[in-house]
Amino acid sequence: MAQDAPAPRATYADLEAVPPHLVAEIINGALYTHPRPRPRHAHAYSRLGTLIGSKFDLGDGGPGGWVILDEPELHLGDDVVVPDIAGWRRERMPRLPEEAFFTLPPDWVCEILSPSTERLDRTAKRDIYARHGVGHLWLVNPEERLIETFALKDAQWLLLATYAEKGAVAAPPFDAAPFELSLLWPDEGPASETGGSSPPA
């Protein structure tokens, strides 16, 4: 019985041909596309990028020492992935590359979960980040209003804590300058109380 030939692996030319209103990635040889984020998703990652970037990239009220970027294109081996936010310790990347992409794996990545991307973010992309030694991963769920924070240990992701609704988020690698979680949700203002961290079960 004849077997179907395997599908050809996606190329960078395939990715470049994707219309600009879509985000395109190559994961395990397959081309994935998904629409630009909805407002709630975009609000969360814009706010988080500002909160982290001001303190750790610009050093405004925080220690500095990082390069924080929105939607960088990462070329990690044969995979091309686009996290919502990524950060490099400045000592590892003292200057930006000339190319329009990055081959140096970040020290931290953050994915803002949406119904169209959550499964990929939690499986294949998470495995790629672990395989290339990304030290920290945050998963932000705007619908459920929570952040899950992970650290890479022995090539496996260890859940450090889950932060829900509101309160101070003090999570590695950015625990030196906590921020207020409720600022990520578009219909919430700053909360007056702190806390909100729960250890993994």
Q: What is the pLDDT of residues 102-111, one digit of tens each?
A: 999 999 999 9
Residue 195: what pLDDT?
40
Residue type for position 125: K
In a domain, 16, yes or no: no
The DSSP code for 102 is: B
In a domain, 13, yes or no: no
DSSP secondary structure letters along 171-184 = -TTSTTS-EEGGGG
Tally of domains in the chain: 1
Residue 188: what pLDDT?
61
In a domain, 5, yes or no: no
Tokens matching residue 174: 């950015």
Q: What is the pTM of this model?
A: 0.86
Euclidean distance between CA atoms 142 and 115, whole angstroms: 11
Domain at 67, CATH number: 3.90.1570.10
In a domain, 67, yes or no: yes
Euclidean distance between CA atoms 48 and 110, whole angstroms: 9
Cα→Cα distances 196→118, 146, 147, 170, 182, Å: 23, 10, 11, 10, 10
- Structural domain boundaries, residue 98: 37-198
In a domain, 168, yes or no: yes
Output phi, psi for 22, to 5 deg: -115, 150
